[in-house]
């Protein structure tokens, strides 16, 4: 089965990555899960101290658009963590590609691997 994978890359304001990660894990991730968004992987990038990524999978491009319109248009997002998160972002880019289930399964284990690398 082919899925649509969005890879979002954030360049954060200098020195804010730890705060961004805390906001994401404590507030945004639970909210995304409540909205049934398939979060594949997320976390600090290994290549510099001001980068972060988020990968989300969707059934199609149309599903992605509908999901994001609903989530980002919701009062829960607008009145919740939106302002705090946006304040930490300098720039953001999204890439959208088609992937198969095996690729998604491999990417899902990335958070555990990256956490192990950071803690070693």
**pLDDT in the model for residue 110:** 61
**pLDDT in the model for residue 1:** 81
**pLDDT in the model for residue 118:** 46
95 and 7 in contact (C-beta within 8 Å)?
Answer: yes
Q: What is the mean pLDDT of each run of 10 residues along the chain (120 residues)?
A: 95 97 95 95 93 96 96 96 96 97 86 46
Give SS3 for 50: coil
Give the number of domains in the chain. 1
**pLDDT in the model for residue 53:** 96
Question: Containing domain of residue 26, as a range?
Answer: 2-119
We report the CATH number of the domain holding residue 56 as: 3.30.70.100
DSSP string, 45-88: -SS-TTEEEEEEEESSHHHHHHHHHHHHTSHHHHTTTHHHHHTT
Q: Distance between CA 81 and CA 19 in Å, rounded?
A: 12
């Amino acid at each position: 089965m082919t899925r649509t994978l969005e890879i979002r890359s954030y360049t954060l304001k200098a020195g804010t990555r730890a705060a961004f990660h805390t906001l994401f894990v404590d507030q945004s991730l639970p909210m995304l899960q409540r909205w049934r968004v398939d979060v594949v992987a997320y976390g600090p990038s290994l290549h510099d101290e001001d980068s972060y990524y988020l990968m989300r999978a969707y059934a199609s491009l149309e599903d992605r658009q509908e999901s994001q319109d609903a989530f980002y248009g919701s009062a829960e997002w607008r009145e919740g963590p939106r302002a705090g998160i946006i304040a930490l972002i300098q720039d953001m880019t999204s890439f959208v590609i088609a992937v198969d289930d095996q690729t998604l399964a491999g990417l899902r284990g990335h958070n555990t691997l990256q956490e192990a690398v950071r803690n070693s």
